[in-house]
Amino acid sequence: MAVSLKGRDFLTIHDWTREELTQVLDTADLLKLRQKAGLRDRPLEGRSVGLIFTKPSTRTRVSFEVGVYQLGAQPIYLSGADMQLRRGETLADTARTLSRYLDGIMIRTFAHADVEELARYADIPVINGLTDWQHPCQVMGDLMTIREKRGRLDGIHLAYVGAGNNMAHSLLEGGAKFGMRVTVAYPPEYPPDPVVVERAKADAARSGGSVELFPGDPEAAVAGADVVYTDVWASMGEEAQAEERARRMQAFRVTPALMARAKPDALFMHCLPAHRGEEVVDEVIDGPWSVVWDEAENRLHVQKAIMALVIA
């Protein structure tokens, strides 16, 4: 039975139960189906949602702005450069002020602690659009896509190949919640956060899934996988490390040869933007394995579901 999620923050996948996350996916499926049929659901008519960006974006900005509009609310774009934060106003004071004007906040920023602080002092729901530590909305869209393509999440083998970054963390948490087998291959110099790994293992033990790490061995991680996932070698804010990271991550490029280690009908996924020729080659991202455009579209539907469920 559905439970009310009104007023809830969505900061990490780990914070929500499998049942609550399933409610998001089911709602996203329904909203997508109705939109494709030409129907327009506007449950947030008359409300306003603030969209704070201190990290630039293509997909996050467009999908959230369009999603807020389609739900009937007014999106208000708030650049970090345009806010009083850059002149020394605290996050706590910003949260208190925005709570008097808005019905919800999405924030895409660097430090995860900033999102937690914003949520602590806001009286309205806060949604994490991305931090250096987590990317939960992206992974909810990924899970929606896998469920569309394979009809289930339980027992699916998801292999992530790349640095232990925010994508790896949220994929570990999402896969663990839904009984998936999650294998992660990464350069030993760039491991996933052990805190995330341990709590994902605990969730996987409860859901019937599993978490396995393969430092330095992408072929082992991908063997027999249903889904192969990768991300850029240097995330936003890591540009100064790009050359060193590229040197250490050559063996983690997703090629047709690596995809051949997965199941014959394996899916290839990427959160985008892709640096073609680095973490993935054209033959894969444009090939029969790729579902990256469906994945990108589903960001819109799953974020609409989250907002519709949490904003009163």
Binding residues for L-ornithine: 166, 231, 235-236
247 is catalytic: no
Considering the candidates 157, 199, 226, 271, report the single residue annotated as catalytic.
271
**70, 138, 157, 226: which one is catalytic?**
138
Sign of the four-CA dihedral 211, 141, 76, 71: negative
CB 139 within 8 A of CB 270: no
φ, ψ of residue 10 to 5 degrees: the values are -125, 90
Q: Is 20 helix (H, G, I), strand (E, B) or coil?
A: helix
- Which residues participate in the annotated binding site? 57-60, 84, 108, 135-138, 166, 231, 235-236, 271-272, 299
For CA atoms 170, 172, 177, 182, the dihedral sign is: positive
Contact between 91 and 121 under an 8 Å Cβ cutoff? The reply is yes
Q: Are 41 and 31 in contact (CB under 8 A)?
A: yes
Residue type, 140: M
Which of 9, 299, 301, 303 is labelled catalytic?
A: 299
271 assigned to active site: yes
Residue 231 known to be catalytic: yes
The question of whether 108 is a catalytic residue gets the answer yes
Contact 300, 58 (CB under 8 A): no
Q: Which helix (H) or strand (E) holds 225?
A: none
Cα end-to-end span (Å), the chain: 19
Structural tokens at position 218: 């992408």
152 is an active site residue: no
Single out the catalytic residue among 47, 108, 199, 253: 108
Taken as a whole, the chain contains a residue count of: 312
The tokens describing 110, both together, are: 């660097």
Active-site annotation, residues: 108, 135, 138, 231, 271, 299
